[in-house]
Amino acid sequence: MKFASAQRVFLLLLLGIHCFAAPAPQLKTKNVFLIISDGLRWQEVFTGAEDLLISEEHGGVKDTNAVRANFWRPTPDARREELMPFFWKEIARQGQLFGNQTKGSVVKVTNGKNFSYPGYSEILTGYGDPRIDSNAKKLNPNVNVFEWINRQKSFSGRVAVLGTWDVFPFIFNCERSGLPIWPAFGNSFAKEIQVPELLRQLTSDTPKLGPDIIFDSFVMHASFDYVKHAKPRLAFIGFGETDEWAHHKRYDEYLKAAQRVDSFVREFWTMLQTMPQYRGTTTLIVTADHGRGTGPDDWKNHGEKVPDSAGDWIAVLGPDTPALGERTNTATHAQNQIAATIAALLGLDYRAFFSGAGEPLQEVIKGR
């Protein structure tokens, strides 16, 4: 009798496990694009143009009337929608946005450096490596999530990198990873993606925005062409004008660059919805590699001596991301969670490969 009773208890336990441990729903995402606007502050993303900086003294703006006509509106909600209409008319309704510190949503840089190479490495590896403490062109010793996913059978040869900064071939360690990249910036160890000849010539013939960076428009058009022809399943697209114009102390051009990134995301998303391979199966993750300071001077800068530049933001849009819009009063999130989130959306466990990576952003993946 005791044995029969024990059997019944065991069966009831099994039934309970079956009832309460239902399998996670099958994800629809088959493709992910990570888009980064270098050094774009969360303040502009969530509150739009800043009044103090629309001036020649603090923002290098000569035609303040034109900038106000284009970007100034009476409320933060109206200003942010004017600056980044796709973010606030589409992503805010169909996806999720994190990082509005005025509403209790904080996204942090964890590497402590608050500048580009450490930021990109943290995003891509899920870890703020203290060895990466400069923007020097040194091959990244860490395997990143793009390289790791490219090793998976169903993704091999379907992963790519496009970006405006000549340090990207080193950040992605294209020598070891073999990831195709554009442009390769003359680095013989990098396999360069082929783009239309006219685009290549224009990129070569146009003076650079800075000594190490090309204009965003070239990468925008290269991305459209590459996705149409190569149809990658995972790609990185990196834009640099927002950071560069801020360093040039040109708030007007910084705002225009942010608006162009928003326009690119809109056009890119629209294009993907016309392509059978991508329609209904693609997730976009849009973010920045670091923040910037606040006030009339520090907005131009970032780094260890500018604590506010540790503030970041993340936007996610895709078929597996619940439409919760602008998140408020959330737990603190970090850019080191992006790598595992990319993998999880594709049905992979990056932390099984590298346990030191931040865990996925659970809220943006249905059923987690």
Would the pLDDT of 98 be above 80?
yes
Tokens of 277: 């391979």
pTM of the model as a whole: 0.93
- Superfamily for the 28-364 domain: Alkaline Phosphatase, subunit A (3.40.720.10)
CA–CA distance, 78 with 93 (Å, rounded to integer): 15
CA–CA distance, 313 with 315 (Å, rounded to integer): 7
Per-residue pLDDT, 157:
96
pLDDT tens track for 180-211: 999 999 999 999 999 999 999 999 999 999 89
Provide mean pLDDT across the span 316-329.
98
pLDDT tens track for 227-286: 999 999 999 999 999 999 999 999 999 999 999 999 999 999 999 999 999 999 999 999
What letters, b where the CB count within 10 A reaches 16 and e where it falls short, cover 3-36?
A: eeeeeeeeeeeeeeeeeeeeeeeebebbbbbbbb
CA angle 317, 318, 321 (to 5 degrees): 85
Q: Which residues contact 209 (CB under 8 A, 6 or more apart)?
A: 215, 240, 241, 244
Q: How many CB atoms lie within 10 A of CB 110?
A: 18
Closest by CA position to 45, among listed 311, 319, 365, 342: 311
Per-residue pLDDT, 5:
46
Per-residue pLDDT, 368:
72
Residue-range domain boundaries for the chain: 28-364
Amino acid (one-letter) located at 170: F
Per-residue pLDDT, 25:
63
pLDDT tens track for 7-61: 444 334 443 333 333 445 689 999 999 999 999 999 999 999 999 999 999 999 9
